Homo-oligomer: A and B are copies of this chain.
């Protein structure tokens, strides 16, 4: 017996649910591998089609364009992190403890989790670090936001901000701190890998542990 989890981002992101067919699952699986390997700009539906022995036109039946595919993947990641946070903090009452677990959940998410067969969570995390912000830094952000394409991230931010407010109800910036934990974590991991002069994270001991420690330190200082 195995328990199946299905993570379902907003329906408007795709033309046809990719997680329900062989081809759709291949699109998800190999787009993650290819975006991670070659980067988002040089990733194309044509190359993906070739990789999975399909055609461009077939992929276009699932996703309108590669931007929406990226947004789908990033949403999938946010949903997955939300799921991890939920199960990891279940039955934990102390909010400080909760926030520590939250931080561990998203920083180490890719390291110590089984997950879903067709999603390489570790590579998806790399994509979120390297390309994630491109999912919302576009001229269409307002239109897409009104369609609910960022709901997953907003829900996640809200649940983290609730914990922050529980720790210190007088703290004026719970949402900012919540989103900044995510953005800062991704940024500093990226810097440690590519622009080390911009960070104190060395990457030697495994940047992930260092980042986790750092985020906990920041949180402690800010909420004391």
Contact = CB atoms under 8 A, between A and B. Distances in A.
Nearest to A158: B197
Select the residue from A42, A200, A222 with max chain B CB neighbours within 10 A: A200
Interface string A106-142: 0000000000000000000000001101101111011
Interface residues of A, number: 46
Q: Chain A binding site: helix, strand, loop or mixed by DSSP?
A: helix
Contacts of A200: 172-176
A209 to B, nearest CB: 14
B173 A41 contact: no
A7 interface: no
A176 B214 contact: yes
A206 interface: no
A195 B142 CA distance: 8
A187 B183 contact: yes
Contacts of A201: 176
Interface stretch (A14-22, A88-96, A149-157): A149-157
A172 B198 CA distance: 14
Interface string A193-211: 0110111110000000000
Contacts of A154: 195, 197-198
A218 interface: yes
B184 A198 contact: no
23 contacts: A134-B134, A136-B194, A137-B190, A145-B194, A150-B198, A153-B198, A154-B197, A154-B198, A172-B217, A173-B200, A175-B197, A175-B199, A175-B200, A176-B200, A179-B191, A179-B198, A179-B199, A180-B180, A180-B184, A183-B187, A184-B184, A218-B222, A221-B221
The 7 A-B residue pairs whose C-beta atoms are closest, nearest first, are A39-B139, A154-B197, A173-B200, A141-B194, A179-B198, A175-B200, A176-B200
